[in-house]
């Protein structure tokens, strides 16, 4: 799994690509979210649009990440995943647990901020 972290104002945008599975992806997700929270970014946006698969460890880590952010009076929002990852969120009913958005701009606005323009 690959990860890219960007900061847009007070929001840590964590873009994940690949699979979130036991022993690799779940550890990367845990460490990346923990680092953002330690650095004071309690508004975390997980971009799962390029995550194609999550096993139970990956799903569990999503829930734990959300819980850790809440403990710091923060929150985690998700950009709409596709494919099997989306199916797994629906199957586990976590699509009702997470605040899921269709775009980065929409999710950042839901945090109470505004998206910065992108592109050239």
- pLDDT tens digits, 93-117: 988 888 989 899 999 999 985 544 4
CA 62 → CA 98, 114, 115, 116, distances in Å? Answer: 9, 24, 24, 26
Q: Is position 116 within any domain?
A: no
Q: Report if residue 76 sits inside a domain.
A: yes
Q: Does any domain span residue 114?
A: no
pLDDT number for residue 48: 93
Q: Count structural domains, the chain.
A: 1
CATH, residue 60 = 3.30.750.24
* CA nearest to 48, candidates 77, 18, 11, 81: 81
The pLDDT tens digits for 37-80 are 999 999 999 999 999 888 899 999 999 999 999 999 999 999 97
Q: Is residue 88 part of a domain?
A: yes
Is 120 domain-assigned?
A: no
Q: In whole angstroms, what is the distance from residue 82 CA to residue 73 CA?
A: 29
Indicate whether 42 belongs to any domain. Answer: yes
Q: Which domain holds residue 80?
A: 2-108
Which of 90-104 are b and which e, b meaning 16 or more Cβ less than 10 Å from the residue's Cβ?
A: eebebbeebebbeeb
Structure confidence at residue 53 (pLDDT):
87
């Amino acid at each position: 799994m690959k990860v890219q972290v960007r900061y847009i104002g007070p929001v840590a945008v964590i873009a994940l690509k690949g699979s979130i599975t036991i022993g690799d992806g779940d550890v990367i997700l845990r460490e990346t979210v923990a680092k953002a929270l330690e650095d004071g970014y309690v508004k975390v946006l997980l971009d799962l649009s390029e995550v194609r698969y999550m096993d139970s460890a990956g799903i569990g880590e999503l829930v734990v990440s959300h819980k850790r952010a809440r403990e710091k009076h923060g929150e985690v929002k998700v950009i709409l995943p596709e494919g099997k990852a989306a199916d797994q969120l629906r199957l586990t009913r976590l699509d009702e647990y997470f605040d899921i958005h269709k775009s980065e701009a929409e999710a950042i606005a839901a945090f109470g901020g505004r998206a910065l323009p992108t592109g050239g």
